[in-house]
Amino acid sequence: MKTATTVVLSLFLAALPAHAVDFLGVELCKGSTDTAVDVPLGSSLILESVEIGDHGGLVMLLSARSGKVMDHVDDLMTGLTGARGEGDGDSLEWTGGRLTGVAQKVAKKYAALAVASSDECPGTEPAPAAATAPVDAPPQPEVEQATPSPDPVPVPAAAAAVVAAAASNQPSAEPEPAVVAEPDFELVGALSHEAADRTWVDVMGVVTNHTDTGYKLATFDVSFFATSGELTCVDTISVSVLKSGQERAFRDAIRCPGYVHDEVAETRLQFAGGF
């Protein structure tokens, strides 16, 4: 009788569902639909989005306010699993115990994190216990009862596929705008030009000095280019008293035999020197 009672109690305990894993405020378990993830206070991680993955797991897109996003994800998961992630700087895995996770870097400051648990959700119908012989039945030979194993935790490869799918659905981070160096001298607007006679052409415009140096006299090369891209003519003009940061109008003339106004497709103003 004692042996039979022990067998029945063991089977009953094996059939009880395990409690769900508490993951950042969410009961992580098979079939869960809860996405109310709460990133810990003081963390450098920002939760961009979260959705349900396979078997009730979670797939999250995380970004970092500063530092390396994968380092912050590893710190977060280490606090939950008790072990650092395995992998390189772009991919990490946490396995063992009741929680499995995979993280994949998807952009400069973005990472996708997939986590899953093999635990049953609270309230899930337990699997029916195997039928046992009545307590008063004649003694039967003891047979070792095999405890049914729980469903396997999704393997890291499957979780990695979920991460890849989530990453492909997320808009890529906008590239940082390229920094364009400001020119030392800048022609403001278009350079005006008009024939003075058959040899000389009057030019007029506004130039800005972006350097830290002021000039009593600054000289510039003025070039005219035809529609074919060929250089038509070039000559030097001067601008007096061009201070640092100053915007100054100028008027001068250059030699340009054969000048035709409508055949000038491009003009250039380039600093030549000064004192």
Looking at the predicted structure, is the pLDDT value of residue 213 above 90? yes
| Residue 25 DSSP SS3 | coil
For residues 222 and 267, what is the distance between their CA atoms, to the nearest angstrom? Answer: 7
Strand (E) or helix (H) holding 207: strand 200-209
Looking at the predicted structure, is the pLDDT value of residue 116 above 60? yes
Looking at the predicted structure, is the pLDDT value of residue 152 above 60? no
Sequence-ordered alpha helix ranges (H) in 16-99: 69-81
Tell me which amino acid residue 174 is: E
**pTM for the whole structure:** 0.41
Q: Which two tokens stand for residue 53?
A: 């993955």
pLDDT in tens, 219-266: 999 999 998 889 999 999 999 999 999 999 999 999 998 899 999 999
Q: Which two tokens stand for residue 19?
A: 């409690």
CA separation, residue 200 to residues 178, 196, 226, 250 (Å)? 41, 5, 17, 16
Looking at the predicted structure, is the pLDDT value of residue 16 above 50? no
Tell me which amino acid residue 72 is: H
| Residue 157 DSSP SS3 | helix
pLDDT tier for residue 13 given thresholds of 50, 70 and 90? very low
Q: How many CA atoms lie within 13 A of 169 on its CB side?
A: 14
pLDDT score for 3: 45
Strand-pair partners of 91 = 104
